[in-house]
Amino acid sequence: MNKIAQIFQTLDYGPAPEGPEQAIAWLDSHGRKFGHFIGGEWTKPGKTFSSDNPANGDSLADITDGTAEDVDAAVKAARAAFKSWSALSGYERGKYLYAIARAIQKHSRLFSVLETMDNGKPIRESRDVDIPLVARHFYHHAGWAQHLSREFPDAVPYGVCGQIIPWNFPLLMLAWKIAPALAAGNTVILKPAEFTSLTALLFAEICERVGLPKGVVNIVTGEGDTGAAIVNHPDIDKIAFTGSTEVGKIIRAATAGTGKGLSLELGGKSPYVVFEDADIDSAIEGLVDAIWFNQGQVCCAGSRLLVQESIEERFIAKLKTRMASLRVGDPLDKSIDIGAMVAPIQVERVRDLLKRGAAEGAVIYEPDGMVPAKGCFLKPALVTNVSPANTLVAEEIFGPVLVAMSFRTPEEAVALANNTKYGLAATVWSENINLALDIAPKLKAGVVWINGTNNFDAAVGFGGYKESGFGREGGREGMGAYLKPAWEKTLKAAPVAKAAPAKADNPLDSGHLDQTAKMYIGGKQARPDSGYSRPVHDPAGQLIGEVGDGNRKDIRNAVEAARAALGWSTTAAHTRAQILYFLAENLDYRRDEFAARILAQTGEDGAGEVALAVERLFAFAGWADKYDGAVHNPPLRAVAAAMIEPLGVMGIVAPPSRPLLGSIALIAPALAMGNTVVLVPSSQSPLSMTDLYQVMETSDVPSGVINIVTGDSVSLAKTLAEHDGVDGLWFAGSAEASTMVEKASITNLKQTWTSRGLYYDLADRRFEGDYFLGKATQVKNVWIPYGA
């Protein structure tokens, strides 16, 4: 019997190795030793470390460990190149991006093989997924470059961008960051992961070959200290980081108060929800892709299986059968399903986590069969008998480990899915499209795949909620992340608020009747927990009123009320608009009273400010049902619905000036988009906003949607920044206090906007549009397949 007939009879595994010769020849052409690519030139190698093949432990090349001096040289080269690069027409920049895309396509096999040798992922994934997507991103952003001025009017590039990428998708992460940065007119310094620098260095050679102007792209290799030098360099205007949540928090703290742009794409613990009406066989194939793609070393890996109880037993049995057929081995073999982990330290980390989970009661299943004795290999694992508190359920494992739990009802599925500090991606399997589209918006994740998983495209944004970071990569929102309003460069320092020449007030001299303005929490007037009040003075120093002196407990109560009112986000946009219109109408009805209050507090005519506040409420009432999403058409049989969603609970600390407009201009866009608000009004002039709750009570504003806590702005801002129940925080105040707010926000990586001591004239009409609307929302992309 011939060999082919034997194979068909036995169905034995037959290897299909990919030749590494071209990749080896490229490495040899560089003497297996690399310096940096700075200013269009290759530097001499410095102190090096080895980049190893995780499948066999062999050294592939020696990579230079970048120093602070190397980073500084790269920043200077990028700064020197920025003026001419950003001055090019979008068409000219687009031509370079197009040339890069073509060159990557031409050398796609070399990139694929080199990526697999350096990273350990199966060649099928590098060849069929990663490298085609890399080319797609450069093609897509070549088009964006030419159309920026039309689609992003009055926007300018940040300048010099520092970019730090991980080792799980080395070249794809590079494309996600460099393509939009260059399209926008920025120049970049990119640091690849120390484990996987080789394809970034090959990309640098491509930049040389296509004639990209010197200094536009700089590649600096190195370990953690090199990345820290990039983050902390004072002449870098934006940082983009993909990696662990722990490092993301360090970067958030390091950039606080610097004014640098920041995008963070961090960890995940993504739910994979299977309902009883799902096509089970398809869902299992999708699950294989969700968790064992790239050995589970994927930030959006579907690592938490939630399967409906009625089909759990059958689903788990079929899944184990499928796991038994997964092949683990040489990643250059085109028949292999699971390749090598990136490094021995990752293997040990996964094993340690499995031991901890088992000690907590988890049952771990691994299929029979052997893995190669040499190299960084692990079997696929399925974990059952766990509660949500188990380490393996709560922690990101970043390995080929799937954790399974069951649910009974859709409501329970949503609760389990959202029971995590992360919010990167989620998958829903159901043949009932009504059910799937009902569940998708309820999942706190930046990407939701329906009846599919791991769909990516340059036209569709990707990024997370909560501790999975903020900012998006890909799509319109990813393009916008590398641009900022041109007028921000002209902002000047805010004038220092002059304190009234107040006398030392005796708390017993405030009158016979207590007329202290109360706080407003959960739709009710509330006395301060402290039991103390704060005097409010006119410009001459005369006492004109008192307000409660709010503290940490008042903020806690206000946040709880705001979270209880989050149903506001699902209220029809038309209804939200009507309520804002009604609020504006009732405020206008009492305009003379509010103008007099502003005059008493500030000594300035308040009529104009009241009129602007009414107008701003009208403006955002009009936006409530118009600032919405889009439907993308990626190059596969699916659409991706980009849904605009509110952040959730927003803390807003108003500026000291403009006691009415300063608060209205900030809370109106937040409310229009469906957020609930905890407002700290002007410390100096809070009475306008304590008067406003009387208007709110007659304007159908639901309880808890707006909560007002008076007191010291800075101390209350710190409490809001540290509170894990607050999803976003806006602070208008000094540079020092802004830095404090940004640092304190790392507890749950809430999104922040701070004025950094600069003067934002909130009366300007530029603030009645998408500037604050964009900061009050985030984009969720829901992928929906179609076709029989």
Nearest to 580 by CA among 613, 627, 620: 620
Name the token pair of 324. Answer: 């038994």
What Å distances lie between residue 451 and 147, 281, 436, CA to CA? 34, 11, 9
Task: Exactly one of 18, 115, 194, 265 is catalytic; name it.
Answer: 265
Torsion angles phi and psi, residue 76, rounded to 5: -65, -40
Q: What does residue 31 show for φ and ψ, rounded to 5 degrees?
A: 65, 20
How far out from the chain centre does Cα 151 lie?
Answer: 22
Strand order in the sheet with 160-164: 41-42, 37-38, 217-219, 187-191, 160-164, 238-242, 261-265, 469-470
Mind giving me the DSSP string for 293-330?
GGGG--TT---EEEEEGGGHHHHHHHHHHHHHT--BS-
Q: Judge whether 729 and 651 are in contact, CB under 8 Å.
A: yes
**Rounded distance between C-alpha atoms, residue 615 and residue 585, angstroms:** 10
Q: Are 708 and 520 in contact (CB under 8 A)?
A: yes
- Strand, helix or coil at 143? helix
Decide: helix, strand or coil at residue 216.
coil
Largest CA-CA distance found in the chain, in angstroms, rounded: 109
Structure token pair of residue 360: 């907590």
Classify burial at 109, counting beta carbons within 10 Å of its beta carbon; exposed 0-12, middle 13-18, buried 19 or more: middle
Residue 697, C-beta contacts closer than 8 angstroms, at least 6 positions apart: 523
DSSP string of 421-452, one letter each residue: S--SEEEEE-S-HHHHHHHGGGS--SEEEES-
- Amino acid at residue number 122: P
Distance CA 275, CA 289 (A): 18
Write down the catalytic residue from 161, 299, 300, 376.
299
Q: How many Å apart are CA 723 and CA 372, to the nearest integer?
A: 48
The H-or-E segment that residue 483 falls in is strand 483-485
Active-site annotation holds for 207: no
299 a catalytic residue: yes
Contact 632, 779 (CB under 8 A): no
Cβ atoms of residues 68 and 175 within 8 Å: no
Pick from 669, 675, 714, 690: which is nearest to 593 by CA?
A: 690
Spatial contact of 230 and 48, defined as CB atoms under 8 Å apart: no
Radius of gyration of the chain (CA): 28
- Residue 105: CA count within 13 A, CB half-sphere: 11
> Which residues have a catalytic role annotated?
265, 299
